[in-house]
Structure 1
Amino acid sequence: MRFFALVAASVMLLAVAAAAAEYNVVDYGARPGGRADDSAEAFLAAWAAACNDSSSPVMRVPAGTFLVSQAYFKGPCRSAAGVVLAVDGVVVAPSAVDSSAWIMFHYAHGLKIRGGTLDGNGHAYWACKSKTTPGRRCPHGTTTLDISQSRGVSVRRLTLVNSKNAHMAIFDCTDVTLRGVKMLAPRDSPNTDGVHVQLSTDVRILSATIRTGDDCVSLGPGTSDVVIRNIKCGPGHGISIGSLGGEAGEAPVRNVTVEAAELTGTQNGLRIKTWGKPHPGLVESVTFAGVTMRGVQNPIVFDQSYCPGRGNVNCPGKSSGVKISDVKFTDIQGTSATPVAVRFDCSSTNPCTGIMLNNVNLTYNGKQAKSFCKNAHVRLLPRVAPRRATAYRPALPCQLESRPEIRLVGLRLPVLCLPVLRLPVLCSCYACPSRASPSARDRAGDPTAGPAPPSRSPHLLVYTHMLVIYFQDILGCGKFKKLGLQNEEALQKCFGDIISVGNDHWSPHMVHGAAAASPSNAPNVDGNDTQDIDIDLTQDKATCEEGDTNEVEQISPVNANGKRPPRPAPPKAKKQKSGTALTIQEAVTSMATSATSYASTKQGKYSIDEVMEHVIACGATYETNEHFIASELFVKKEQREMFMTFRNNEVRFSWLTRKYMAKYGN
């Protein structure tokens, strides 16, 4: 009996402890029920209390609608498990937010967000952006939820709607999981990306529904080890890697997997986009598998000549320095809204390599869609069909933009064309089938024909058969063999519907946290880095006075009269101050200290000159966009301190770029 009593008491104590670990925003002054009373201070107070709790704190937002002007939740917190933000109600933003992010979490390690709705209230902003009035000034395009420099973050069942800009941004984070999230905005809402990930690793986006006016998911520079699974996307601009290569020194994107995705009515499906600039970069080890397309305008697209603006003045030569390699497409099915379903427009100086397509079947208006390939090395794998009759189909005419030449085993041959097995025709640096096996034409016409034998090395085929096999058994290639570039008119008809709509990709900008300590590699202007110089004025004075008493007295020489000149009289000691004088001096000293403290508060921890030196050090030199936006931002000490929290120059430069694009690049 005593044992059961102890158990009951323990359960009660645990219940009390659990109740004590919950911090309800209403208890800190939040007022639900409308859009008039700002609850931002109450939210921040509840977070401060929860963040200071070392147990397992829960910050709760109860049912109801809460207006929050802006909230910046800063860590790290005391709890090793992290703070749980449980949202049962709706948190709504004002129509304008004077920042590039509305709800921000910085250094929030172990953060867990559960349920609720964040309403970005972006209608007024969209209306302003849609107007064409010259000289109009729209408010900032604000990101709804910004999580930066955090690790071990989990977001579940959260709904984000009507964001002014991107719905969610993950910046410089590690180990982030989004599960069951929803992001909703009208089809025509500008720049309303779903999730943007940048400079982050080990990110999982699972079972998400994203219907917005821009990319469902976009992956920026420095992103690696990303898994996107069971996502429903559309309307919007699809799933994008990029844009990349816009600035020098961008980190690579690698190890990305997209599985079991559904894209409906999107502008793009699976896209890799890079600027037509020579800045070096890398995209590698990317897998797209089990993706269904429904009425997608550009189901598969590599665009390495992206350069919005007039005249392409920012892209000399329009040749991208970003290398794309090892990208696999497997089990991609569905319908295209345009005739060209697969478009590989790769860099002339860095051709795409290691591109593989396996069981890709995309149709347009009930017929097999076409494809386009430039500067890409593509490998096609056959689909193992249950019936031989459907194992092979005749190839479609090759859509060639040009006929570059390559050199294989000492022979100079034009680019050859591959027959396609349930695929559009792609142009690649591989040889055509040899006479050693039944031709593609025979297989296409013979329903009893078996599968093709294993293909031999293309180099061996070219060496063995030379020009005898060139274009011999490939349907639709004859006119290109005979006429070559005289088919440009047909090409223009085929690709005339592919147009550029300008900058259709949001570049994230956000405000990050307060200042941290100066970087360890900051120059030390005080001398030896390992030597501390202590200056104590009182000690110096005592030493000096002691030296006077021990010094050997100097004897003055005798003058002509036999007398020594008079010794100079020592200065008279100062009269001791009275009690009133001491009181006045203390008051004046206190006032001076307060004035110095106030001036320090206004100036902040970092001066403008000091921060601008770091701006230049990170690569934002004079006459650059980043230097220009820094000169605007860093008149405010809060912005200077945020900038100095970033861990290295790469992060700082990327942040400045995003700030500039948020204000001037939309």
Structure 2
Amino acid sequence: MSSSTIFSRSTTFILFLFIGLITNVQAVDFHVKRYGARANGNSDDSQAIMKAWKDACSSTKPSKIVIPGGRYVVDSMKFQGPCLAPIHVQVEGRLQAPTNIKKMRNDASWIVFQYINGLTVSGKGTFDGRGSLAWKQNQCASSGKCGSLPISLRFFSLNNSLIKDITSTDSKFFHMNVHNCRNVTLRNINIDAPGDSPNTDGIHIGGSSGITIHDARIKTGDDCVSIGDGSQQINVEKVTCGPGHGISIGSLGKYKNEKPVSGITVRDCTITNTMFGVRIKTWPASTKGIASNMQFENIVMDNVGTPILIDQQYCPYGTCHHQVPSRVQISDVGFKNIRGTSTTQVAVKLVCSRGYPCKNVKLSNINLKYSGTNGTAISECSNVKPAVVGRVVPPACTRAFAA
């Protein structure tokens, strides 16, 4: 067992122990309907919910905000700490975002939880981004300007926290963004958006450590899980992904002073009807960076475009300087026990930087078959010499990729 796995499981155990001790203390309940929330699907309930938050956050005893069943139309809300005691937000109703982004406050996110230690967000409720109109306004692919639409749920500077059982649907942009957090678990999460909804990443992680995603069902129009710079000791397991673009590390190298990525484990996942499977992506002509100790294990691919991919020429908008190689050093990568079907013949594609070739890449027990009628699966490689352990189908580097 790797040191990163031991670290991840230890921090998860400590987190659950911490939360268990909290829940044994009788929490003070704050029901949002007592603060004037109507839950009728028409009235703006933002102020009532924020009043409940203010009182709960000021409580010296552990507190619980209860959002019961019903439809709550809410504008941008910021649940900000620090709070005086651990706090639990129990969502049983359906929170609905404004459909017209012009009517939202000028925020980059719809709902934000930030600067909180010991937060729990749970319940069978739904955060409904109502993004179908906003998707038509998305100009990310045409202009490269991708920051004009709000993220549905932003978790910023949380410590020792648990997000569980909730659903996010039809976000205008990313569903969930975990940034600058420590020891946070997302468990039993449901994310749902159409496969053609642009830039609706399921869960994006950046600048965080000790993050665990356990048991998630993600259907979306972009990456099911994406892991950005500064991510350390991230554990992704038992994720069912598809439709979407798969599970990704990156893209990396676009901005100055990006922090290293290391200690990433993706295991026991099923990826179905996606554009990609598991991939690492960095920009050409990038800034310097490091991405190391990344393991992908026990993954089933069902009807996936390219199941295994390292792409150091990532350029989604077609305006890159491909003649300048990526300067992100990728090393210590393992693809182990990955099986299933590819919808393209190139089932394994390892395109590394000619300036910074990949180091210590290992393929172990791979069995990927091309689902088409003509030909068999192949693999392409450039600037990498992967080690092979066990049976690997298609054979490693059956064709050189002209990088």
TM-score under structure 1 normalisation? 0.53
CA shift for structure 1 position 128: 2.9
Match of 1:416 in 2: none
CA deviations on 1:618-652 (whole Å, 9 max, x unpaired) are xxxxxxxxxxxxxxxxxxxxxxxxxxxxxxxxxxx
Bigger proportion of residues as helix? 1
**Which of 392, 395, 399 is the aligned partner of 1:424?**
395
Alignment of 1:113-512 (within 5 A): 113-115=121-123, 116-129=125-138, 140-312=148-320, 315=321, 317-365=323-371, 368-383=376-391, 421-426=392-397
- In 2: Cα distance, 1:33 partner to 1:138 partner: 33
Q: 1:183 to 1:224 in 2, by over 3 A?
A: same
Alignment check: 8 A CA contact 2:139 2:146 kept: no
How many residues end up aligned between the 2 structures?
Answer: 371
CA shift for structure 1 position 244: 0.4
CA shift for structure 1 position 372: 0.2
Aligned residue for 2:47, secondary structure, equals helix
Match of 1:73 in 2: 79
Stretches of 4+ aligned residues off by more than 6 angstroms: none
Residue 58, structure 1, aligned to residue 58, structure 2: no
CA shift for structure 1 position 235: 0.2
- In 2: Cα distance, 1:301 partner to 1:128 partner: 30
Percent identity for Structure 1 against Structure 2: 38
Moved more, 357-366 or 70-79: 357-366
CA shift for structure 1 position 175: 0.5
Match of 2:95 in 1: 91
Q: 1:275 to 1:139 in 2, by over 3 A?
A: closer
For 1:381, give the aligned amino acid: V
CA shift for structure 1 position 278: 4.1
Aligned residue for 1:213, secondary structure, equals coil
- In 2: Cα distance, 1:232 partner to 1:139 partner: 27
CA shift for structure 1 position 311: 4.7
Q: Structure with the greater relative contact order (CA < 8 A, sep ≥ 6): 1 or 2?
A: 2
Aligned residue for 1:348, secondary structure, equals coil
Residue 49, structure 1, aligned to residue 49, structure 2: no
Give the unaligned 5+ runs of structure 1.
Answer: 1-16, 384-420, 428-479, 481-487, 496-666
Match of 1:109 in 2: 117
Alignment check: 8 A CA contact 1:125 1:139 kept: no
Q: 1:324 to 1:310 in 2, by over 3 A?
A: closer
Q: 1:311 to 1:123 in 2, by over 3 A?
A: closer
CA shift for structure 1 position 18: 4.3
- In 1: Cα distance, 2:376 partner to 2:166 partner: 40
Alignment check: 8 A CA contact 1:339 1:370 kept: yes
Alignment check: 8 A CA contact 2:140 2:146 kept: no
- In 1: Cα distance, 2:390 partner to 2:26 partner: 59
Q: Which has the larger radius of gyration?
A: 1
CA deviations on 1:215-261 (whole Å, 9 max, x unpaired) are 00000000010011110000000000001001121101000001100
CA shift for structure 1 position 61: 0.2
CA deviations on 1:32-65 (whole Å, 9 max, x unpaired) are 111x211111111000100011111000101101
For 2:328, give the aligned amino acid: V
For 1:350, give the aligned amino acid: Y
- In 2: Cα distance, 1:56 partner to 1:194 partner: 30
Alignment check: 8 A CA contact 2:44 2:73 kept: yes
Bigger proportion of residues as strand? 2
Q: 1:257 to 1:424 in 2, by over 3 A?
A: same
CA deviations on 1:110-135 (whole Å, 9 max, x unpaired) are 11011111000101101333899x99
Alignment check: 8 A CA contact 1:305 1:318 kept: no
For 2:188, give the aligned amino acid: G
Aligned residue for 2:201, secondary structure, equals coil
For 2:97, give the aligned amino acid: A
CA deviations on 1:150-192 (whole Å, 9 max, x unpaired) are 1111011000000000000001010010000000000100100
- In 2: Cα distance, 1:259 partner to 1:32 partner: 40
Match of 1:537 in 2: none
CA deviations on 1:445-481 (whole Å, 9 max, x unpaired) are xxxxxxxxxxxxxxxxxxxxxxxxxxxxxxxxxxx9x
CA shift for structure 1 position 70: 1.2
- In 2: Cα distance, 1:175 partner to 1:220 partner: 17
Aligned residue for 1:47, secondary structure, equals helix
Alignment check: 8 A CA contact 1:31 1:37 kept: yes
Q: 1:202 to 1:99 in 2, by over 3 A?
A: same
CA shift for structure 1 position 346: 0.5
Q: CA RMSD in A?
A: 2.4
Q: 1:138 to 1:107 in 2, by over 3 A?
A: closer
For 1:347, give the aligned amino acid: S
For 1:129, give the aligned amino acid: N
- In 2: Cα distance, 1:352 partner to 1:205 partner: 27
CA deviations on 1:579-615 (whole Å, 9 max, x unpaired) are xxxxxxxxxxxxxxxxxxxxxxxxxxxxxxxxxxxxx
For 2:32, give the aligned amino acid: V
CA shift for structure 1 position 100: 1.3
Alignment check: 8 A CA contact 2:138 2:149 kept: no
Alignment check: 8 A CA contact 1:99 1:140 kept: no
Aligned residue for 2:136, secondary structure, equals helix
TM-score under structure 2 normalisation? 0.87
Moved more, 237-246 or 274-283: 274-283
Alignment check: 8 A CA contact 1:177 1:203 kept: yes
Alignment of 1:485-564 (within 5 A): none
